[in-house]
Each structure stands twice: as C-alpha cells, then as structure tokens.
C-alpha cells in the first residue's frame, strides 16, 4: 500500500510538470492577449503593462521564472483582477465548488448504486428497462437543459427553492441534483453491469448453495465486487464534478471555481489559467490515487500484493 502511494507520488511530479508546460505553451499560442480590450490601449501603456507582469521578457525566461515561482508555491497575480493573487481567487472558489461536488457525488452514489443493483436484479424485466431508460435520459440531458427544467418545476411552479444563490440549505438542492443526476445515471449503468457480471460467478452460486440468504448474497458477497468498476470511475467523476460545474454555476449564480476557470481562459488571464489548470490537475491526480487505494482495499489480490 505504501509502495503504491510512493510510486504514485513520484509519478505525479513529472505529470504536473508536463501539464504546466503544455498549458504554458498553448496559452501563449492562443491569439489575443490579456491586455486586448475593446478600447485600444496605446502601445506605450501596453508595453508598461507587459513589463509590470514580466511579459516583456523572452518566453524561455518567462517559463523558467514561472517554474521557479511554482516551486515556491507562488502562482502570481491575476492579470484580469488587479490586486488579487491567483491563489486568493482560487481559494475563494474552492469551498463552493468542493461542497457542490461532494453533494453531487452523494446524489450520484445514493441514487446510482441502488438503481444499478435493482436493474441488475430485475435483469430484462420492467424494472431494468425503467432504470436504464432513466439512466440514458440522465446521461443525454445536458445540464443546461436539466437545470432550467428543474428550475421551472421546483422554483417557478412549486416555489420550493430559490432560483439562484448559495446561502441557505435549500439553495444546494437544485444545483446538486443537476450535477449529480448525470453521474448517478453513469454510476447506475456501471453498477448494473458490474452486478450482472458478478451474479454469474461461481462464488455467488457457492454462497447460494451454502444456503446464504439472498440479502446476504447480494449485499455482502456480490455488491463489493460489483462496485469495482464504479470505484474506478470515482477519480475521474469527482474531478469532473468539481471542474465541470461551469454551466451550473452560471445558471444558479454560484461563486465557484468553474466559472473562474472558463473566464480566465476567455480573458487570457495567463496566471489564473495556469493556476486553475494546475489545481485541477493536482485534484485529479489525488482522486485517482484515492480511487486506486480504495480499489486495492476492495480487491484482496492487489491488497496482498502491495503489502
């Protein structure tokens, strides 16, 4: 287990470096710069601004300086928001994005796993088709369609929830459903196929033959193995809910990180883009590692091999 952890950490550093380098290069290749505005800025002022942020230096030097700052944990100042550092901007967005992401994952797992298991148990019967139909719908419906639909029903018609904001507990419901349902659908499909596969296996038959109750067979013996593909999905899913909430943040007016990420790219806010990309990269690596650890724990074979 410890070996796995160390190995993964050792791999993470070059991965982050490659991502940082690629982002740096791609950003500078994109036409337009942070100081291009509708009202044309005189060349002298433009040069002053560039000098202020070190953009007048040769690119290789800028790159080295950026790496140096990164090693010291300094992401630099935002270009678009004078007076704000990138780490401050990211820190302001994290709590909302993280909370929304966690809630959405809870929705996804709480709905997805039982639905998948029920579907597998009702294989080729009405229950299966119903669950899979909903799952298909969930996957196909993009959040910019689902969110307005939920708002129409639960906010405009029924008046249960406020249409925007992030202040009360009720404000969490619609965003977390919008974000979570897509992943719930995905998880339902994964756990269904996992379950179907497991139910064919010899040890399940053995358990049944030994007279274990159906509940015990399903919940103790089968579920654990059936969730294997779901756990693999955990890493990318969590990274997805945290980074992919731009549309939901915009529709519900939430001060999260997704909006800042997209806007930074549109504004060519170089430092802010680098900062958010690296933050997301680190997050994805961390969640992938976590998924691996859980997987290893779920599967005795890897658990023992790593001992």
Q: Which positions touch another protein (CB under 8 A)?
A: 30-33, 35-42, 44-45, 48-49, 52, 77, 80-85, 89, 92-93, 148, 151, 155-156, 158-160, 162-166, 250-253, 255-256, 259-260, 266-268
**Residue 157 Cβ, how far from another protein at the closest point, in Å?**
9
Our CB check for another protein shows the closer of 167 and 200 to be 167
**Residue 285 Cβ, how far from another protein at the closest point, in Å?**
26
What is the SS3 assignment for 123?
A: coil
Our CB check for another protein shows the closer of 171 and 292 to be 171
**Residue 79 Cβ, how far from another protein at the closest point, in Å?**
9
Give the bridge partners for 77, in sequence order.
85
**Residue 153 Cβ, how far from another protein at the closest point, in Å?**
12
d(CA 19, CA 277): 8
CB of 287 closer than 8 Å to CB of 238: yes
**Residue 86 Cβ, how far from another protein at the closest point, in Å?**
11
CB of 241 closer than 8 Å to CB of 105: yes
Listed residue (233, 260, 273) closest to 94, CA to CA: 260
Our CB check for another protein shows the closer of 194 and 256 to be 256
Our CB check for another protein shows the closer of 265 and 293 to be 265
The tokens describing 296, both together, are 């290893």
SS3 content of the chain, % helix, strand, coil (to 5): 75, 0, 20
SS (H, E, C) 132-155: HHHHHHHHHCCHHHHHHHHHHHHH
153 contact partners, CB below 8 Å, separation of at least 6: none
Our CB check for another protein shows the closer of 80 and 303 to be 80
């Amino acid at each position: 287990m410890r070996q796995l952890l160390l190995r993964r950490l050792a791999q993470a550093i070059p991965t982050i470096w490659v991502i940082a380098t690629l982002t740096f290069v791609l950003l500078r290749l994109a036409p337009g710069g942070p100081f291009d505005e509708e009202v044309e800025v005189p060349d002298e002022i433009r040069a002053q601004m560039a000098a202020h942020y070190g953009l007048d230096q040769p690119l290789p030097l800028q790159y080295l300086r950026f790496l140096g700052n990164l090693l010291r944990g300094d992401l630099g100042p935002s270009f678009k928001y004078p007076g704000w550092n990138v780490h401050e901007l990211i820190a302001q967005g994290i709590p909302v994005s993280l909370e929304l992401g966690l809630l959405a994952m809870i929705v996804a797992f709480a709905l997805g796993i039982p639905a998948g298991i029920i579907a597998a148990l009702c294989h080729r019967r009405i229950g299966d088709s119903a669950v899979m139909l909903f799952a298909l719908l969930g996957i196909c419906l993009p959040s910019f369609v689902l969110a307005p639909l939920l708002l129409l029903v639960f906010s405009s018609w029924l008046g249960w929830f406020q249409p925007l904001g992030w202040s009360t507990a009720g404000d969490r419901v619609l965003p977390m459903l919008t974000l979570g349902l897509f992943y719930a659908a995905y998880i339902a499909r994964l756990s269904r196929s996992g379950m179907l596969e497991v139910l064919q296996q010899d040890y399940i038959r053995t358990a049944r033959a030994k007279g274990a109750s159906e509940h015990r067979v399903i919940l103790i013996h089968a579920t654990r193995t059936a969730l294997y593909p779901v756990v693999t999905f955990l890493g990318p899913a969590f990274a997805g809910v945290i980074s992919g909430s731009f549309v939901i943040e915009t529709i519900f007016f939430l001060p999260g990180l997704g909006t800042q990420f997209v806007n930074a790219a549109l504004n060519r806010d170089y430092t802010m883009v680098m900062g958010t990309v690296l933050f997301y990269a680190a997050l994805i690596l961390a969640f992938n590692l976590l998924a691996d650890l859980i997987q290893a724990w779920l599967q005795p074979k890897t658990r023992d091999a790593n001992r």
